[in-house]
Amino acid sequence: MAHRGDRGDGSRGSGQHRLPQRAGEGEGCRQGEAGPRAEVPGHVCQPIQGRRARLRRRGDPSGGYAAAALPRAADAAEQATGRAAAQAREHSALKRDLTLVDAIGIGVNGIVGSGIYLLVAPLARVGGGSSVAGVLGCGALCVLIALCFAELSSMYDRSGGPYVYAADAFGHYVGFAVGWLGMATGVLGLAAVSVGFAAALGRFIPAAATARAPIAVAVIVALGIINWRGVKQGGRTSTALSVVKIVPLVVVALAGLRFAPRAPLALVPSDAISAAFLSIFMMSGFEYAAVPAGEVRDARRTVPLAVVGSICGASLLYALLQLAALGALPDVASREQPLPDVAARALGSWAGPVIGVTALFSMLGFCAGVALVAPRYFTAMAEDGHLPRALTRLSPRGTPAAAICASTAFAAALAIGLGYASLVDVSNVVILSGYALSCLAALTLRLRRPDAPRRYRPPWFVPVLALAAAVALLVSARPRAAEWTFAVLLLASGFFCRTATALARRWLGPRP
């Protein structure tokens, strides 16, 4: 009787480590090295006897039976490298045309939008003289969070930003939640600010006041077309608009310093906390510089510089503008848009309309930055199978065309009936929650992947302090139940889309 340990030449092997004969290791598998290969699912498809004889001569006492586990190991390796494969596919398709200046422009446009024009008076109402301290405190918190983003972005050069960080640290469920909320916040902000742009345009063109929705939709569609034509065009548009809107604000901030109060402003901690929470809306957006990392040159160096640089500059500018408004206008809390009035008093009557026009470019620049970033959330989540694979399709110019169309249509639909005021507090809840998870991701990845390459690593206390400050600000501000409800419903809609995508793939089968 032939033993399973027999060599192909008829001699007998050691006989050790025998395993039960696998179904299918029959006639076709025992014909020597020249024989046919075993046609058994999951089986190592090589001539069995000759291969095992060679392995024993090389010192493998099992005769190659251990190789039967190779298919399972290959499956595990394939799952472990799935994200790396998706990243490699993305790198081979997306064009890295964005420079450091473009990345900073995206971050600045994400921060400086409508908030600085529409929230100066509300900040004065809730914070009074403490509003400047609230703005600076919020800026300090955002700088700490930006340092966490700088560390995380130096580890990845894939598009997706906070979604990628959370998915790697906590798994796909938490990552999808962060990515969906980030995408939804961006799209909602795009819709709201485009409506605000149409309303501001009505001050110069009266006919625009009665056509807000069509104008807002036209802005969204135009920016979608620009981004579809190429990321370089989208980045240059964002950079140009950031320069146009920042320079006049810097001039007003410096000129308005002569009206700064001579005596120190009174500091009321509760008022400062309220002002800091309200400031989150106009401080957020610096993380947008990290989202299109897959299209940034030398992303692991460029993106951290863009994230930290954009928030540091914006925080200082906002504090100076708030200080100038408090000093130049005693009744600043009762004015709807005080910055043009501050400019008129500091520079002359001609400066008021100039700042009014600058507000238009500021809102347009914000819309341009979000229109560039939001589709990358769709693409990153679709790459990992959370959303339909069709959202990963690229245009001939190498841009995520399907995702751009989806985000443009989503924002255009919301622009028809979306208000501005309620969006601020809801966005702050969502934004702070996402920031806290990103800080926690930085801590988690330090423990799980301490040897991962990082071009930037802040001290341990930075992510700890940033996480504690974000949670403390979120709790102390006490958002209303309606805001939490809206955030939960928004998140639930995302998981509904994710579940629908999974069911569709199960019924229709995977697509190549």
The tokens of 112 are what? 């400086």
Residue 54 vs residues 19, 20, 57, 146, 363: alpha-carbon distances, Å: 18, 20, 5, 58, 72
Confidence (pLDDT) at 32: 41
277 contact partners, CB below 8 Å, separation of at least 6:
138, 428, 473, 474, 476, 477
Q: What is the pLDDT of residues 165-201, one digit of tens each?
A: 888 889 888 888 888 887 887 887 788 788 878 878 8
What is the rounded CA–CA span in Å between residue 225 and residue 442? 36
C-alpha of 13 from chain center: 60
Can you give the pLDDT at residue 20? 40
Fold classified for 100-450+460-498: Amino acid/polyamine transporter I (1.20.1740)
According to DSSP, residue 60 is labeled -
Read off the tokens for 253.
């901030």
Distance, first Cα to last Cα, the chain: 48
The pLDDT value given to residue 103: 79
**Mean of the per-residue pLDDT values of the chain:** 75
Residues 6+ away with beta carbon under 8 Å from 304: 149, 150, 151, 153, 154, 455, 456
| pLDDT tens-digit map of 267-324 | 888 888 888 888 887 888 777 776 666 677 777 777 788 888 888 888 899 999 999 9
Q: Whose structure tokens read 């708030």?
A: 322
Contact (Cβ atoms closer than 8 angstroms) between residue 266 and residue 128: yes
Alpha carbons 169 and 498: distance in angstroms, whole number: 20
Task: Specify the pLDDT at position 440.
Answer: 92
pLDDT of res. 14: 42
CA dihedral 30, 31, 35, 41 (to 10 degrees): -20
The ranges of the chain with pLDDT < 50 are: 1-52, 54-92
Question: According to the model, what pLDDT value does residue 334 have?
Answer: 86
Give the residue from 413, 394, 412, 410 showing the smallest Cα distance to 402.
Answer: 394
Among residues 337, 380, 392, the alpha carbon closest in space to that of 180 is found at 380
Contact between 372 and 236 (Cβ < 8 Å): no
Q: Which amino acid is at 307?
A: V
